[in-house]
Chain A
Amino acid sequence: MGTHVLEVQNLGKSYPAIPIQRGGSSIRDLLQSLFPARSSNRISQNGDGFWALRNVSFSAEQGDVIGLLGHNGAGKTTLLRIISEVTEPSEGIVRVRGRVGSLLGANAGFHPELTGRENIYLVGALLSVERKKIDTLFDEIVAFAELARFIDEKVKHYSSGMGIRLGFSVATHLLPEILILDELLAVSDVGFQVKALRRVHSISTQDRLIFFVSHNTEAILELCNKVLVLHKGKSIFFGSPSEAVNKYLDSIK
């Protein structure tokens, strides 16, 4: 077992209920919030927004493969976003060591206007990997993703399967200390799923912390040594995979 690389204490994340919502506001929203119509629901304007996460605590070590289970909207992606420093916690503390690389959904972390090749270098730069190292790994990355023909096309033209393949390949070759794999299996075909799972297996022996999010409980049981189960933003279990799966299945009944 390895050293601690992640500590999450009482983590909470809220989104305000006032019109600064997802998708951005419009000027109309801004004006509306300044001059609310009489019939509008003023209750929504207090501080209590929507808590995507509340009171989540756990810790993880190098070499762990942590599964993340929960219904849609339970807060899994939010948690991972906070750990990747993409967004900030509203309360609590997260302590993390090492670079975090995420694959959150298809075409994740890629700039749509850049080609696959450029994105590989961009992600490498974001992970502070030296350009020379990326050069040496480049061919392997493309080969694993089976994208040699498309590597010089803009990522916005990739199908979601292609995006996942590239993202996964980049992440697992550049190997940041903390690796996040969110919904890897949902969009990829069976062939790639097998390949990917095999690769996750082989990485897990390399002292990385891996987060694995999936609704595929079999894969979770196969790969993970600890599982965190979230339900409506709260952590309802953290521990052995088999118990976790049961808790998860109970929670969604």
Chain B
Amino acid sequence: MSGPSTYEPKTAFTRWLDTRLPILRLANDTMTTFPTPRNLNFWYGFGAILTFMLAIQIVTGIVLAMHYVPNSTMAFDSVENIMRDVNYGWLLRYMHANGASFFFIAVYIHIFRNLYYGSYKAPREVLWILGVLIYVLMIVTAFMGYVLPWGQMSFWAATVITNLFSSFDQLSQLFNPHFKIGTTIAYWIWGDFGVSNATLNRFFSLHYLLPFVIAGVVGLHIWALHVPGNNNPLGIDVKGPQDTVPFHPYYTVKDSWILSMFVIVYALIVFYWPDLLGNPDNYTPANPLVTPPDIVPDWYLLPFYAMLRSIPQKLIGVLVLFGALITLVFVPWLDTSPVRSARFRPLYKIAFWVFLVDALLLGYLGSQPVDGTFFGTGISDVWLARLATFYYYAFFWALMPLLGWFETPKPLPATIATAVLGNKAAAE
């Protein structure tokens, strides 16, 4: 869809600039005249929302770093100082902390929209993989940010997550019982025998760096989007100009509207319920000698945490956790169906909605104490989590390949224009 440029500089200055740095041409071709399928719904607005949230996180993060002290004896107090003393510090910190949560809300909607409409399929595999990379970078960045306030949850989340690497001891010890590769990695990450001041310092450094790395990969993601152009809810290719509208004003307006709705909800949480998504234990300073009774990661990692806890063997539990993320990379090749959109795939549609419920269930189970039962029904949470983990893997590794062969898709419309406008209007 990225055809020849239609940009025509209109003034002497823009003509002069265009032969030296065609930046206005780039902006015009990608954000103004870019031909976009005419049938995109509001679920397609989350890319714009994500870009906005990344900007919010970078801007609030830069100013918070002007007041924060990355030292294990001062970090907690410096955050309290931001909350109580720094002008508007409370606002900036709540924007940043809740901004992370809303960033993840948006990215999950974005990912599930993609799975529903089959946008990861050819020719958008690289676009999808770059998205998975951004998601992983977001997880790493958010995890390090969660450590910085140096409360109890910060400290113990850091301890548990970094200890995931120690499980790899079981691999290297197969070859040499004295070679503990995992522990060596963990010491390297900590800079000490455990989570310590050295750990806090390097996490702060990397937490500042990674958002800019994310911004760079977002650039590649958008570039990869603009080669084949947007997928759409019908999942069929654009056949000609009758199927598209220019990005501006059609989608600039549509994106702005959904962004406004999203920001209203974000603002409501920031102003009226800022601690909803946080954990009260993180208002207790870190204590290396006492683990809080129920330690949980932030909500956006709970599904993976439930997987980890459901496996009674340490190394396998860790491999299942990492495997759940790595699986995403293979999705474009696991799905064997030539039809993209779930609208025309009756069986995949069911599998998709079960998968969505499965992911939410895993999230709920991850938030519960380790030895509980499901809403007091007597069904063990651990066994339910095992079942849900099984479905997570089965969805990608069994249902996606098999449904492509066994499912009979519904007939696809001829073009986007006929589906949207009817045959008569499209012919005009």
Q: Is chain B a partner of chain A in the same complex?
A: no
Binding site for A on B (CB under 8 A): none
Q: Which residues of A come within 8 Å of B, CB atoms?
A: none
